[in-house]
Chains A and B, each alone.
Chain A
Amino acid sequence: MRYGGDNRSRLLLVILIVTSLFLITLDLRGVQVMQGARNGAQTVLSPFQRGASFVFTPVGNFFSDVAHLGRTRSKLKALEDENAVLRERILTRRSVDTEIGQLKSVLNLAGKASYKIVNARVIAQGSSATFTQTIIIDAGANMKITRDMTVISGEGLVGVVKEVYPTTSLVMLSSDPSFRVGVRIAHSEQIGILSGQGTNHAVLQLLDSQSNVKVGDVLLARGSEGDKPFVPGVPVGQVTYVADAAGAVSATAEVKFFAHLSSLRIVAVVVKAPDADPRDALVPPKPMPTPTPTVTVYVTPSASPSPTTKK
């Protein structure tokens, strides 16, 4: 192919660009076909994601451990092979333990507040195609999940269901920059708005400049009308820093999420909120340097730390 046919190549370029602009326009106007295409893609992808998640979960931890094995490679080949097999078996076991632990703690939390929940496994985290913070879980329309349902883990709020596909759903994490949730400071009536920042910290903006927020204050979700997207009473995070700007219209503070958003394995979708607001019932117990639930006892019977406890 000789390059030089400038007109032809320019025409092709123009056609392609116009096509893509047309697609953008269609999608922004909310044409159903576009959403259908994405639904189809998710249906095709989800079996692969399940498979990869199943295979990769134990192996992912294995790579970091293999670095420590190098020293005696030549001498102890046989032993090392056996060791690797055993090690992998332990890691598999440990990842199952983690899942059990997370499941237990999420059931604990939901039980205390009498939420009706659907448990789900996280099958993919994020995507290459986007800068937003999302996870994909293995429960969808088949489990009666609908848009805007609250998603929690054992520690607290995880996010909100954003898209529902036939057997999977996309969850926007609370750390996503476009995430907003109305919160209430526990044991008081002060309310504010929490916005995700793309990290495990969020910014709290109190609606009243007179309010006094302190480091260590616990924030609970305030609940939305009709319990969508947020059911009331879910623990969200803890204030770590208070910005004291004199003359500001409203007080702001920095908040650390309770949920470990980077190491989620099991989450629960709240399909029905309790009839009565649980108020402050879900505030985590007081002695709490790190917001780890008591259930960690089950997770780490051995001396080695479990993945949930390390940041």
Chain B
Amino acid sequence: MLTRRLLLTSTIFFTLFILQESLFSQVRLPLGGFSLFLIFTICWSALSTPEVGALTGFGAGLLLDLAPANDGPIGQWTLVLIVTGYGIAFLRYGDDSLRGNPFSLVVLVAVGVVVTLGIYLTTGVLLGLDLGTGFQLMKILIGNGIWTLVVAPFLLPLISRLHRAIFETRETL
């Protein structure tokens, strides 16, 4: 059972990663666009228990770390996504008003994406990466938040259906 879940989940994430790196990264959108992979990961964690959330973050982070255009040290995205994956699952799991309310989930995911990028930037600065001007970074952060708010409502039903099929939880949206 565990093997099946693990296999299915990693297949989904791997496919999405390849799509993201080859196809979606070619689309140039205003305000820096968004990362479908990141949104998917955050949504997935939000629908899971904290343990699974942290594991999801670990796997997705490893994949992102392997992206050839990635500049930071391997392990940085892993660290960031473990923390946010666990955090967002923890938040949503403990709070009944957040569960089963699609709208608040969308907002939670958008905030999650922005916080993830924020933590990545902060750790990047701590590790001594050269990241550019504050204005440019603010634009990317805010742009990502807005894009996530726009895109997440369309993605959530799909993601939650996939998640339900694999984990057989009773949660519906």
User: What residues make up the interface of A, taking CB atoms closer than 8 Å to B?
Assistant: 1, 3, 8-9, 12-13, 16-17, 19-28, 34, 37-38, 40-42, 44-45, 48-49, 51-53, 56, 60, 124-132, 134, 136, 163, 165, 168, 170, 177-178, 197-199, 262
For the complex formed, measure the closest distance between the CB of B102 and the CB atoms of chain A, giving whole angstroms: 21
- Bound-complex Cα distance A127 to B72 (A): 12
Contact A21 B93 (CB under 8 A): no
Best-buried of B93, B124, B127, B131 by chain A (most CB within 10 Å): B131
- The SS class assigned to the A binding surface is helix
Inter-chain contact count A-B, CB under 8 Å? 161
Distance of A25 Cα from B78 Cα, bound (Å) = 13
Chain B residues with CB below 8 A from A23, complex form: 65, 73-75, 78
Number of interface residues of B (CB under 8 A): 53
Instruction: Pick the contact of A128: B18, B20, B51, B136 (CB < 8 A).
Output: B20
Chain A to chain B contacts (Cβ below 8 Å), 11 pairs: A12-B54, A24-B127, A25-B75, A38-B70, A124-B21, A125-B28, A126-B69, A127-B67, A127-B68, A128-B35, A128-B67
B70 x A127 contact (CB < 8 A): yes
Known: A13-B54, A38-B74, A132-B71. A124 touches B22 (CB 8 A): yes
* Contact A129 B79, CB 8 Å, known A8-B51, A37-B74, A49-B22: no
A129 contact set on B, CB distance < 8 A: 64-65, 67, 69-70, 77
Distance in angstroms between the alpha carbons of A130 and B140 in the assembled complex: 11
Taken together as a complex, chains A and B put the C-alpha atoms of A228 and B124 apart, in Å, by 27
Complex Cα spacing A102 to B119, Å: 40
In contact, B35 and A1 (Cβ under 8 angstroms)? no
Chain B residues with CB under 8 Å of A40's CB are: 66
Interface centre among B35, B51, B61, B86 (most CB of A within 10 A): B51
Task: Decide if B37 is an interface residue (CB 8 Å cutoff).
Answer: yes
Contact check, A128 vs B38: say whether CB atoms are below 8 A apart.
yes
Binary interface encoding of chain B residues 49-88 relative to chain A, with 1 for a CB under 8 A from any of its CBs, else 0: 1110011011001001111111111111111001100100
The answer to whether A24 and B75 touch across the interface, beta carbons within 8 angstroms, is: yes
Given contacts A26-B74, A128-B35, is CB(A177)–CB(B131) below 8 Å?
A: yes
